[in-house]
Structure 1
Amino acid sequence: LIMPKVDGFEAIRQIMSRKPTPIVVVTAANDSQNSFDAVKAGALEVVSKPTSVNTPEGAKTITAILEKAKIMSGVKVLTRKAHIFPTSSGPLAQPDKFLNSFNEFDTPMPRTQLRLPSIRLSSIPKIVAIASSTGGPPALSKVLTHIGKGFPLPILIVQHITPGFGQGLISWLAQTIGSHIVEAKEDTLPMSGYTYIAPDNYHLLMDIKGRIKLSSALPIKGHRPSANPLFESVAQYYGPSAIGVVLTGMGDDGVLGMKVLKQAGGFCIAQDEASSVVYGMPKAVADAGLADVVLGLNSIGSYLLKLVS
């Protein structure tokens, strides 16, 4: 990101405005704030660079970077305007029991102008659970910006991210949006107006008392945190009062948990293909017939406000 004449942020903006190309940022984990500024400028993914190339751990990191680059090379990206950004309720008795069973930042339209699907919820919403992966950080920034400060429900988020960058994501979102965005902590009772993000290498769940539980159980299909235990535990505790949201991401993480949430009477929103960086996770939910609505990214925040108003 630090280069002569033109820095990495400006280079990303110019590339994305002139010839859109999938960009993966490789940087040190302690540079996470700048890394997410790069994501905001148009990069798709942030990965940590190896501390050494002559160790087994370094070789493993290099292999992971190459695999990530290969995957990202197949992602279709859209032209972005070269904006200037600063750089800077059935209780769950055993919340761990099901873990092993799954081995452009534009302004939203005013709500008065939105023509969104009108669906009557079966119960008063009490919580929102969101899952995202590739392309997730800027998508989360957009949704959280659109709902604004003082959202009347707690929000729980699982974002697939390279270990070491989780706290940087939280700091970046908090600085960008200016609302209560924090790392999820064990035994916390979720509060309205707060957004809780799963920490690195921990599954995020709800326990029998409606408090946050963090689990170091095995990754689920390679993911820890995984969206499946989040959606299932939220469904077990909140039932029809739960809203689940699946944003852009590779693979199908979240579809099994969302099935449980729907069976409990919850409500599901999936991001549409046109606005997704990678139409994998939301596609899996939509294809399974679990999505109550499929919306463009620029409409999801406004629709959440509509649901809770």
Structure 2
Amino acid sequence: MKKIRVLVVDDSAFMRYTVSHHLSAQEDMEVVGLASDGLEGVTMVEALRPDVVTLDVEMPRLDGLGALRQIMDKNPTPVVMMSSLTKEGAAVTVEALTLGAVDFVTKPGQSTSVHQVLGELCEKVRLAARARVRTMQPSSLLQRRLAPASDRLPDNLVLIGSSTGGPGALREVVTRFPADLNAAVLIVQHMPPNFTRSLAERLDELSALPTKEAEQGDRLQTGQVLLAPGGYHLTLTRSGEVQLNKGPAVNGVRPAVDVTMMSAVGVFGSRILAVILTGMGHDGRDGVRAVKAAGGRAIAQDEATCIVYGMPRSVVEAGLADKVLPLEAIAGEVVSMLSQPASKQQPVRQTA
């Protein structure tokens, strides 16, 4: 059995020892190097060409973000970030995910033991070893145009679902939407609380559309992006008002794409354009099936550009995708499809 070759980068000698000792104890892993800061980590990635890098956020000389940028630019490699649970830690981790890191684990704290964190890290290293990484292209900020708030239900809803690899994919898609997009945008990304708020704030900084974490009572607005908060399912009232609840996890997650999509169908019917991006599992498949049954349309990200081709695969293999597209083509296709009423849009499956 070929072992997963891991490079551990952390300025804490205790964490380097603890992480490397635990990973080395796994039958399917071997630690090929230990680096004490970002500069050393970048050099060792070049020399050792590991399968996966575990990367601390806060380090001397070159921090985790700086190291990640250089790794993704010179030698794109699956990276799992080691983050703190603080607000600042969440913001930095989200930026790392938008730059191409595959996933993250939070360092041990009051609510998580070292054993729990190491177990999660092992699973995410295994997942990262199978991931496809790509250098994220810089986004050009489009002109922002703020539309006045309205009580009128938007003409269309673009509903995006994503999981592992989602933050980077969302950056690619949302920052390409024009300010005059004729739709409200709703995103369900599998992430813990705090991290979804940081992701919304990051997307807001980069995109032409105002973006925020959804709150109880928010109304969908044309030309605005709402992101479901971590830890809550998001549903809609008939008037397009956001309702949040802590109901049981669906597909093992909360928020769940399926929950939001099925709720939205009762409000928007055929005026939904569902977009399923990179992620593990099949969350979103049943929701897309409901969207299609109501006359709506669906786009799935293609396998070649996914970090993890799980959620899109489930939609494609169920025959539910109108278009299967590379990540960089999705935003343009959304704009094109919104210009055509659903009844006139021909369901043509496409791979590129």
Q: TM-score range by the shorter chain?
A: 0.7 to 0.9
CA–CA separation in structure 2 for the residues paired with 1:19 and 1:56: 33
Q: Secondary structure of 1:147's partner?
A: coil
CA–CA separation in structure 2 for the residues paired with 1:8 and 1:291: 37
Q: How many residues align?
A: 268
User: What's the offset of the Cα at 1:185?
Assistant: 1.7
Aligned CA distance change for structure 1 residues 184 and 107 (closer, same or farther; 3 Å): closer
CA–CA separation in structure 1 for the residues paired with 2:191 and 2:112: 22
Uncovered stretches (5+) of structure 1, i.e. residues with no partner: 81-103, 109-123
User: What's the offset of the Cα at 1:214?
Assistant: 1.1
Task: Answer 1 or 2: higher relative contact order, Cα 8 Å, separation at least 6.
Answer: 1
Conserved 8 A contact 1:48-1:162: no
| Corresponding letter in the other structure for 1:4 | P
1:204 equivalent in structure 2: 234
Asked if residue 51 in structure 1 is aligned to residue 83 in structure 2, the reply is: no
CA–CA separation in structure 1 for the residues paired with 2:113 and 2:193: 14
| Corresponding letter in the other structure for 2:177 | I
Conserved 8 A contact 2:219-2:242: yes
2:317 equivalent in structure 1: 287
User: What's the offset of the Cα at 1:107?
Assistant: 6.2
CA–CA separation in structure 1 for the residues paired with 2:99 and 2:81: 11
1:64 equivalent in structure 2: 120
1:105 equivalent in structure 2: 137
Asked if residue 244 in structure 1 is aligned to residue 274 in structure 2, the reply is: yes
CA–CA separation in structure 1 for the residues paired with 2:61 and 2:220: 46
Taking the TM superposition and a 5 Å limit, the aligned residue runs for 1:186-201 are: 186-201=216-231
Deviations 1:36-57 (A, max 9, x none): 22223321113321115xx765
Conserved 8 A contact 1:125-1:308: no
* Match for residue 94 of structure 2 among 25, 36, 40: 36
1:162 equivalent in structure 2: 192
Conserved 8 A contact 1:46-1:162: no
Taking the TM superposition and a 5 Å limit, the aligned residue runs for 1:100-139 are: 104-105=136-137, 126-139=156-169
Identity %: 35
Deviations 1:214-271 (A, max 9, x none): 1211111211000001111111221111111101111111101111111111111111
Aligned CA distance change for structure 1 residues 189 and 51 (closer, same or farther; 3 Å): same
CA–CA separation in structure 1 for the residues paired with 2:280 and 2:58: 29
Deviations 1:188-233 (A, max 9, x none): 2211111010011001111233321112111112110000011111
How high is the TM-score relative to the length of structure 1?
0.81
CA–CA separation in structure 1 for the residues paired with 2:247 and 2:155: 29
| Corresponding letter in the other structure for 1:189 | R
User: What's the offset of the Cα at 1:304?
Assistant: 1.2
2:51 equivalent in structure 1: none
Instruction: Give the ranges of 4+ consecutive aligned residues of structure 1 lying more than 6 Å apart after TM superposition.
Output: none
Uncovered stretches (5+) of structure 2, i.e. residues with no partner: 1-56, 141-153, 340-352
* Match for residue 292 of structure 2 among 262, 266, 272: 262
1:25 equivalent in structure 2: 81
How high is the TM-score relative to the length of structure 2?
0.71
User: What's the offset of the Cα at 1:162?
Assistant: 3.2
